[in-house]
Amino acid sequence: MTAAPDPELLALLTLRMTPGLGPRRVEALRRFCGSAQAVLAAPVMELREVSGMDQKTLAALGTPEPRRRAAQEVQRAAEYGATLLGRGLEGYPAALEALGDPPAVIWVAGELPPLDVVPQAIGVVGTRKASSYALNLAARISADLARAGVVVVSGLARGIDTAAHTAAVQAGGVSIGLLGSGLDEMYPPENRDLARRLVVVSEYPLGTRPAPHNFPMRNRLIAALSAGSLIVEGELKSGAMITATHALECGRTVFAVPGRATDPLASGPHRLLREGAVLTESATDIFQELGWKEQGGASAPELSPEQTRVWNLLAEPATLDDLSTQAGLPHDQLQMALMMLQLGGHIDDVGGRYLRR
C-alpha cells in the first residue's frame, strides 16, 4: 500500500498542475499565504492581491481537476519508482535556488546526492554532432572529475552528453541526467540503458513527451545543479550556449574547451573564452579554478568483462593488431571495448598504439 504523500508536497503538486501557474507564480502564491496548503484553502478574492495573477488562473485555483491530477501523479510516480521533491521541503536540492524560477516540484529516478547552494558538481555539455576529439576530451575530463568524487551533470542527449555520462559512471562516479520530458519518456530512446546507471531528474510529469521548448528549460537545471558548466563543442546558437548563459545568471563559473579557429563547432566555446570563460584542457583546470582537490572518493572503474580483458592486456602498449591476436574477441566487440575505454578516459590512442593511462 502506498504511503500517504506529504500534504504540503501534494498541495505544491496541485498548484503545479493548475493551468497558468508556472514556478514564479506558484512561489509568489506560496509566499503570500505561507504554504501551498494555505493557498488552496484561501478565498480567491484574497489571492487577487498577489502580483501577476490573472482572472483565468485564479478561476482555476481550487477546482477539482488539478487536485485529481496531482493525486494521480503521486500514484503513478510510486508505481514507476520515482521520488517527488517539492521546493522548500526535505530533499529538494538547495542548488536550484540559484535560479530565478526553481521548479515547484521535481521528479527523480535514483538517489539524488546532496546538492548544496554551491554543489560539488560540474555540468559537461556540448553538441550532439561532436568530433571524436571532443568526445574523447569530454569523456576524459568527466572520468577524472568522477574519480575525484565530483558529480557530473548533463542532459542525456547524443554526443557530448552521452560521452560525459558514460565516462563518469564507468569511472565509478555519480552522474545526473536532466530530461526535457517525463522520466518515462526517455529521449533519445537509445539512452534508456545508460539512464538506468544515472540519477535522472525532470521537472515534467510522467507521460510528458519531449518537446523543443522543454530543452532550454532543462538546460537551466543543468546550470543550477553545477558549480560550473564546461562547454566542450557547440555552435553560437546551441543548447550548450544556453546552458552557459544560465550558468552565468546563476553566478556559476563557465569553462570552455578551445577548438580549431575554422571549426563552426568551436565558435561557441571561443566566444565564451573571449568573454572570460576559463580555458579548459583537462579536469585540473577545473579543480584549480574552483579550489577543489583532485583526489577524491570515487570507487574503482566499472568495466565490462570485454573491457577488463583489453585493459589487462594493455599493461604494455599494444597496436590494434596485437590486441586482435591476444584478446580473443570478435572484431566488433574489441572495437566497442576500445571505444568505451577511451570514452571513459582509461586508455589513449597515440600513434596507432593503445596506452593505459
- Give the structural domain span for 62: 1-79
Is there a single domain that holds both residue 27 and residue 150? no
275 and 347 both lie in a single domain:
no
Do 309 and 286 fall within a single domain? no
Stretch 71-79: mean pLDDT:
97
> Does one domain contain both 61 and 160?
no
| E-assigned strand segments in 184-259 | 199-202, 228-231, 253-256
Q: How confident is the model at residue 134 (pLDDT cuts 50, 70, 90)?
A: very high
* Residue 285: band (very low, low, confident or very high) from pLDDT cuts 50, 70, 90: very high
Is residue 261 included in any domain, yes or no? yes
Q: Which residue has the higher pLDDT, 186 or 52?
A: 186
- Kindly state whether residue 283 falls inside one of the protein's structural domains: yes
d(C-alpha 310, C-alpha 189), whole Å: 29
Give the pLDDT band (50/70/90) at residue 357: low
The reply to whether 178 falls in a domain is yes
- The answer on 312 and 275 residing in a single domain is no
**Which of 53-67, 97-111, 119-133, 177-191 bottoms out in mean pLDDT, i.e. has the lowest?**
53-67
Lowest mean pLDDT among 108-112, 197-201, 262-266, 344-348: 344-348
Query: Is 109 inside any structural domain?
Result: no
**Structural domain total, the chain:** 3
> Residue 241 pLDDT more than 60?
yes
**Does pLDDT of 301 surpass 60?**
no
pLDDT value of position 333: 84
Of 256, 290, 324, the domain-final residue: 290
In angstroms, how far is CA 140 from the centroid of its own chain?
Answer: 18
pLDDT confidence band for 297 (50 / 70 / 90): very low
Domain CATH for 336: 1.10.10.10
Instruction: Between 259 and 318, name the one with better pLDDT.
Output: 259
Q: What is the pLDDT of residue 313?
A: 82
Q: Taking residues 274-288, what's their average pLDDT? A: 96
Kindly state the cell numbers that stand for 304: 565490462
Buried b (16+ CB within 10 A) or exposed e, 282-297: ebebbbeebebeeebe
Provide the CATH number for the domain around residue 270.
Answer: 3.40.50.450
299 part of a folded domain: no
86: helix, strand or coil: strand
What's the whole-number mean pLDDT along residues 27-56?
A: 93
What local confidence, expressed as pLDDT, does residue 295 receive?
A: 65
What mean pLDDT do residues 261-276 have? 94
Domain boundary among 238, 263, 290: 290
Q: What is the mean pLDDT of residues 133-152?
A: 95
Predicted pLDDT at 356:
67
112 domain residue, yes or no: no
Take residue 352 and report the three cell numbers written for it.
596507432
Q: Same structural domain for residues 261 and 344?
A: no
- Residue (of 101, 143, 107) closest to 122 by Cα position: 143
Query: Does some domain include residue 51?
Result: yes
Q: Are residues 176 and 75 in the same domain?
A: no
CATH number of the domain where residue 21 is located: 1.10.150
Residue 110 resides in a domain: no
pLDDT, average across residues 283-310: 78
Domain boundary among 290, 315, 330: 290
Q: For residue 219, what pLDDT is reported?
A: 97
Phi, psi of 124 (to 5 degrees): -125, 115
Residue 150 and residue 40 in one domain: no
pLDDT at site 298: 43
What pLDDT shows up at residue 289? 95
Does one domain contain both 126 and 226?
Answer: yes
Do 70 and 176 belong together in one domain? Answer: no
